[in-house]
Amino acid sequence: MKILTEHINTPGIETFDVYRKKGGYTAVEKVIKKMTPEEVVEEVKKSGVRGRGGAGFPMGMKWSFLAKPEGVPRYLVCNADESEPGTFKDHYLMKNIPHLLIEGMIISSYALGANKSFIYVRGELMYVIHILEKAIEEAKAAGFLGKNILGSGYDLELVVQPGGGAYICGEETALLESLEGKRGNPRNKPPFPAVKGLYQCPTVVNNVESIATTSWIINNGGEAYAAIGIGKSTGTKLISASGHINKPGVYEINLGVSCDEFLNSDEYCGGVRKGHYLKAVVAGGSSVPIVPGHLFLKTANGEDRLMSYESLSDGGFATGTMLGSGGFIVFDETACIVRNTWNFARFYEHESCGQCSPCREGTGWMQKVLNRIEHGKGSMHDIDLLVDISKKIEGNTICPLGDAAAWPVASAIRHFRDEFEWHIKEPIAATKPGAVYMKESVLV
Partner 1 sequence: MENTAPQLFKVTIDGVEVEVPPGTTILQAARKIGPEVAPPAMCYYEPLKGSGGKCRACLVKVSAGSAKDPRPMPKLVASCITPIQDGMVVENYTNPQVVDARKSVVEFLLINHPLDCPICDQAGECHLQDFSYEHGVGTTRYEEDRRTFEKEDIGPYIQLHMTRCVLCYRCVYTADQITNKRVHGVMGRGDHAEISTYIGQAIDNDFSGNVIDVCPVGALTDKTYRFKNRVWFSKPVDAHCDCEKCSGKVQLWYRGDEVIRVTARKNEWGEVKEFICNTCRFERKQTSDWTIEGPTKVSRASVISANKYSKNLVKKPDFALKLAESQYKNIDDDRPYLHEMSEIQQSEDYKALMAKDEKYFGHK
Positions touching partner 1 (CB under 8 A) are 166, 168, 183, 188, 190, 349-358, 360-365, 368-369, 372, 385, 392, 395-398
Contact predicate 144/150, CB 8 Å: yes
If the CB atoms of residues 35 and 369 are measured against partner 1, the closer one turns out to be 369
Q: How far is the CB of 218 from partner 1 (least distance, A)?
A: 35
| Long-range contacts of the stretch 12-19 (C-beta < 8 A, 24+) | 13/96, 13/97, 13/99, 14/96, 14/97, 14/98, 14/99, 14/131, 14/135, 15/138, 16/99, 16/135, 16/138, 16/139, 16/141, 16/142, 19/97, 19/99, 19/100
Q: How far is the CB of 124 from partner 1 (least distance, A)?
A: 16
Strands (E), 44-186: 75-80, 116-121, 157-162
Q: How far is the CB of 243 from partner 1 (least distance, A)?
A: 27
Q: How far is the CB of 171 from partner 1 (least distance, A)?
A: 13
If the CB atoms of residues 214 and 313 are measured against partner 1, the closer one turns out to be 313
If the CB atoms of residues 364 and 376 are measured against partner 1, the closer one turns out to be 364
Are β-strands 157-162 and 116-121 bridged in parallel, bridged antiparallel, or unpaired?
Answer: parallel
Contact predicate 308/323, CB 8 Å: yes
Q: Give the chain's length.
A: 444
Q: How far is the CB of 186 from partner 1 (least distance, A)?
A: 10
If the CB atoms of residues 200 and 431 are measured against partner 1, the closer one turns out to be 200
Helix (H) / strand (E) element for 280: namely strand 278-282
Rounded Cα distance, 184 and 181, in Å: 8
If the CB atoms of residues 273 and 392 are measured against partner 1, the closer one turns out to be 392
Q: How far is the CB of 100 from partner 1 (least distance, A)?
A: 33
Beta bridge partners of 118: 77, 159
Helix (H) / strand (E) element for 348: namely helix 337-351
If the CB atoms of residues 235 and 402 are measured against partner 1, the closer one turns out to be 402
> What count of other Cβ atoms lies within 10 Å of the Cβ of residue 202?
24
Q: How far is the CB of 381 from partner 1 (least distance, A)?
A: 8
If the CB atoms of residues 116 and 183 are measured against partner 1, the closer one turns out to be 183
